[in-house]
Amino acid sequence: MNAQFWTRPDLSRQPCLRDLNDNLHDLRLNAGLPSARGVRDRIGKDAQDFWIVNHQAVLDVFQKPVLPQPGRLDLIVRALAEMARHDEDATADRFEGLWKLAASETVTQAHTGVPDDLTEPGDNRDDNAPGDPALESLKALIIHAAQSLWDDRDALRVFLGVVRRSAGFAKMADALEEHRPANATFYGVQSREFAVARTAARLELSMVHRQLEKHRLKHRWSFTDLERQTRISAERWIHWYTQCELPDREAIIAFSHAASLQLEDRTLILGLWSSAHEALERQSHLDTLPSAIGFDEAWGMRPPTTPRLWGLAGVGGDPLTAHGPDLAAGTVAAFTIAGSAGSGRSIALTTVARSLLAGGARVLLVAPRPSPLRELAGRESVMGCLDRDDFTCREMEEVLDTATRDHPVVVVMDDVEVLADCSAAPVLRQLLRHGFSEGTALVAAGDDQRLNRCVKWPRELTKAHRGLLLAPQNSTSGRLIGSASVPSLVSDRPTPGRGWLHLGDGTLLAVAVPQ
C-alpha cells in the first residue's frame, strides 16, 4: 500500500494544539509515513494479547480536533521516533512540552464553559486568594458529578436540587444546569481531589470508561435507561462514572448484551476490563507494601529452605514474604536490577549481595561509581572489590577460576551500563553463557533507559528473563526482566524502593526493597 498523508483537523482557533498536531504529522513524515496499523504494531500488545493502542486510536490522535490523551500520545511519539531513528527520550520530552502548552490552552478555553463567578453576591474575596481546602474540594466534587450526569437530565436535575438546598451553592447549581462544566481538574479548582497520578491502572480504567461512554451515547441512554436495559441500578452506574471506578464484570457483560455489541467490540471491552482489573490489583498490592523494612526483618521472612545462591530481592505478597531468585536455576545464571537514578537500585543490589553472603556464597563486587555496594568490601567471603570503570580479563579470571559448582562465585555489579566497553567483556559474556556449568553467576544493576539502548554484552542479561524493575517510567523496560506487562505499570509518580519482581514464571510481584 502506498504511503499516504492524513487529513489534518481544523485547529485554527487553537494555535497551540495546532502546533502539537503539525509536529506530530511532521514526525510521521520523518518516520516514512507509516500506516496506522504500522504504528499500532510498533507499539505492540499487552499481557492479554490486546493492542495497547489500536489503529483507530492512532488515527484519532492525528485527525480529531481534540487534545490527545498524554499516555497514548507518548506511546505513539516514541514509536514514530524509533522508526525515524530519532532520540526517543528527547523527542518524547519535546512533545510533552507541546502537549502542556496545548493543555493550558484547552484549560483556558474550557474554563469559559461555566461562568467564573460562582460566589454569592457581596462576596468580595480576592479571586487569587487561597480558599478553604474543604470548600474547594466540595466544589470540585459537585462540578465533576454535574459533568458526569450531564447527558442524564433527570438525574442532573435531582442532583442539582440537592445542591441548591445549601444557599451558598444555589448560584453555582443554576450555572451548572445551564452550561456543561469542564472537568473539575481543568476548572481551576485548588483541590487535588481529582488530580490522580498517571498510573497505568488509571489509563487502563479510562479506556474502559471511554468504551462504555461511546456505546452509551450511541444509544442515547440515560442512567435511568441503563438501569432498565441492564437491570443494574442507576445509582451504581452513577457511582462508577462519578467516582471513576471499575464497574463489575457482570455489569460489563450486561451492558454488552443490552447494547447488542458485535463480537469484536464485546471482546475488546472485556479485554480492556480484564487489563484494567489486573492493573488495579497490582497497583493495590504496591500501595499496601510496608513503607520501610530492614534487612534483618526481611531475611527472617525467607522460605524455610533456601538454596545457597538464593538472593533476597524484596518482600511482598499476602502474607508478607521474602522473595528472590535462585541463581543456580533458570535459563541464564543472571539477575537484573533496573531502575532510574534515585529508584533505589543500588540499595536493592546491596541487599541481594548481603543475602548471598549470609547464605554462604562467595561474591566479587564491581562498583565503578560510588555505591553502597563498596561498603561490603572486606567482609568474609568477599573475594574483592573492583572500583574502576575498566579492568582486565585476568583480574576477573583470577577470582572466577576458583569457582566450582560446589563452591560458586557470584559477581555483583553496579552501574553495569558503564562497563559495556570494559576490557573484561569477553569474560563476562562467557560467564553469562556458561555460568551454570562453571559455578558462576552475575547480578547486575543499571539504569533502565541506558540498558534498553545498550547493544553490547549487557544486552545478554535479558536472556535470563528475570529481574527487579524499580519505579518503571518507560513502557519498554519490561524486556529487561522478561515481562511484557510493564507498560501497564508505568507511573509519573513512582515510589523509590518499590518495584516489580519477575522470576521467569510470567508473574509480576509487587515488592518493597529492604534497607
Dig out the grid coordinates for 40 from the structure. 499500532
pLDDT at 494: 62
**Greatest CA separation found in the chain?**
86
Q: 295-512: which CATH topology?
A: Rossmann fold (3.40.50)
Cα(365)–Cα(373) distance, integer angstroms: 7
Tell me the HSE value of 347 on the side-chain side, using a 13 A CA sphere: 19
Q: Look at residue 144 in the predicted model and tell me its pLDDT.
A: 67
Residues 338, 469: contact at Cβ < 8 Å? yes
Q: Which CATH class is domain 200-287?
A: mainly alpha
Q: Of 462, 475, 481, 339, nearest to 44 (Cα)?
A: 475
Q: What is the pLDDT of residue 491?
A: 56
**What is the DSSP annotation of 90-124?**
HHHHHHHHHHHHHHHHHHHHHGGGS-S--SPTT--
How high is the pLDDT of residue 102? 84
pLDDT of residue 194: 37
Which pLDDT does position 126 carry in this prediction?
41
The H or E element that residue 386 is part of is strand 382-386
Q: How far apart are CA 371 and CA 349, in angstroms?
A: 10
Residue 45 CA to residue 128 CA, distance in Å, equals 46
- 10-residue averages of pLDDT along the chain (515 residues): 80 89 93 91 79 88 88 91 90 89 70 40 41 58 71 73 76 74 42 43 76 87 86 84 81 91 86 80 70 88 87 87 91 91 90 93 93 92 90 89 90 92 91 88 91 85 90 75 64 71 85 88
- Paired with 468 in beta bridges are 337, 501
Q: Where are the domains of the chain?
A: 15-112, 200-287, 295-512
Handedness of CA 18, 23, 26, 28 (dihedral sign): negative
* Closest-CA residue to 72 (of 93, 86, 83, 58): 58
Q: Give CA torsion, residues 44, 50, 55, 59, to 10 deg.
A: -90
C-alpha cell at 68: 490527545
